[in-house]
Amino acid sequence: MTDTIIIAFCSLLLIAYLFNLTASKTKIPSVILLLLMGWVLNKTTSFLEYELPDFSSLLPVIATVGLVLIVLEGSLELQLNSSKIRVIKKSFLGALISIVVLTLILSFTFQYVAGGSLKASILNAIPLCVISSAIAIPSIGSISKLNKEFIIYESSLSDILGVLLFNFIALNEDINIYSFGEFGIQLLIMIIISFAATLGLSWLLRKIDHHVKFIPIILLVVLIYSVAKTYHLPALIYVMIFGLSIGNIGQFKQVKWTQQLDTVALQNEIKKFKELIIEGAFLVRALFFTLFGYLLKTEEILNGETFRWAIGIVLLVFALRAIQLRVSKLPLNPLLFIAPRGLITVLLFISISPVNHISLVNNSLIIQVIILSALVMTFGLMMTGKKDEVISAMY
């Protein structure tokens, strides 16, 4: 039994690695293949009458760790300097406006059709409005560097803003000036904690001489995130600040605390740390989507009642995205197609309390929207090839 599990586990991850390698050539996002592999594994084990444990309780855990590693991976890749101000501003506004506008449209629609409170409708709408960096970032290897940079910023910020908005709505019974004030205080506390933790972890990264040094840092990052989340603080801000700070440590040479560190030696350590985070994010992402695919039910994927809604939501997503890109004077090709839903959508959906669930937004709708948005990205990138547009004025 043990050997069988090890063989299956290693084989699945090696296949996932092959999917990752071929994604830039085939233009097929690895997430589609991972979901399919998980689904086929489920059908195979059922056919062979081979019983496996119930893995559904593992999904939120893997999703949370994956979220931390993916946001950390994305923020480590981002460069902070004056030449990036315009792209950061455009990606932030694009992520924020698309989430807010889409959330408002969907929440009012859900309330009109399904009834219930506006709060419940908003909580069910937000997961469908967040671009998944877990799918977008690994899928953009073949597009131009400038467009790739925009997608990394936009999808990472979309993850963070989506989680912040979801938590703000979920944790406040009434939305008023006091709840905004409390959220502002929480945000300020989290920023202070983020900079203090960043300073401490940077110091540890440089000073630890033991041959095992990066795993404790990663564990501390996840631990601080989880503790902050337990106290209902916007914990994802900390992950992004930490990643941006150590990823751009060379930009802070004049800051007093960095003068106490050997920044040249620290940058070498950060490079190794980044490589480990990239590999860790791949591992967790592969596990999550394979497990998610394994837990999929055929009747949920083929649910005709929700399929019309899924198509409507995906069409609305890309229609609003086209308007947003035009208003922002950004190229439609290939940016229009890169707005997949994925890990964050699932994580937020399973975080909705039972009292706030609405019947219209169920497993079938979430799965269909994820698959359809990924397929749009797949065909869009296939048609784009290497002829993607870049508007240099954006930068």
Q: In angstroms, rounded to a whole number, what is the distance separating the alpha carbons of residues 282 and 19?
A: 11
Per-residue pLDDT of 295-334, as tens digits, reads: 888 888 888 889 999 999 999 999 999 999 998 888 888 8
Q: Which two tokens stand for residue 59?
A: 């999904």
- Reduced to 3 states, what is the DSSP secondary structure of residue 81? coil
Question: Rounded mean pLDDT of the chain?
Answer: 83
- CB–CB of 30/19 below 8 Å? yes
Q: How high is the pLDDT of residue 143?
A: 76
Rounded to two decimals, the pTM is 0.84
Q: Is pLDDT of 387 > 60? A: no
- Pick 172 or 191 by higher pLDDT: 191
CA 346 – CA 367 distance, rounded (Å)? 9
| The pLDDT value given to residue 91 | 87
Q: What is the pLDDT of residue 262?
A: 58
Average pLDDT over residues 378-387: 72
Cα 148 from Cα 335, distance rounded (Å): 9
| Amino acid (1-letter code) at residue 272 | K
Q: How far apart are CA 207 and CA 332, in angstroms?
A: 47
The residue with tokens 């001489």 is 209
**Cα–Cα distance measured from residue 335 to residue 330, given in angstroms and rounded to the nearest whole number:** 8
Using an 8 Å Cβ cutoff, are 131 and 339 in contact? Answer: yes
Output the pLDDT for position 198.
80
Q: What is the pLDDT of residue 174?
A: 73
Among 124-133, 139-148, 198-207, 385-394, the range scoring the smallest mean pLDDT is 385-394
User: For the domain with range 2-394, which CATH number is right: 2.60.40.10, 1.20.1530.20, 1.10.260.40, 1.10.3720.10?
Assistant: 1.20.1530.20
- 66, 225 contact by CB (below 8 A): no
Give the sign of the dihedral formed by CA 351, CA 356, CA 359, CA 365: negative
The mean pLDDT of 179-204, rounded to a whole number, is 83
Structural contact between residues 99 and 339, judged by C-beta atoms closer than 8 angstroms: no
Contact 390, 334 (CB under 8 A): no
Residue type present at position 251 = Q
More confident position, 9 or 263: 9
Q: CA dist 61 to 64, 163, 284, 285, Å? A: 5, 16, 10, 12
- pLDDT tens profile 46-72: 888 777 777 788 888 888 888 888 888
Residue 27 tokens, joined: 């233009």
The residues spanned by each domain of the chain are: 2-394
pLDDT in tens, 19-45: 877 766 776 777 788 888 998 988 888
- The yes-or-no verdict on residue 99 having pLDDT over 90 is yes
Tokens of 288: 């999550």
Burial class (CB in 10 A: 0-12, 13-18, 19+), 275: exposed
**Residue 223's closest CA among 206, 235, 208?**
235
User: How high is the pLDDT of residue 393?
Assistant: 46
Mean pLDDT value across residues 169-195: 82
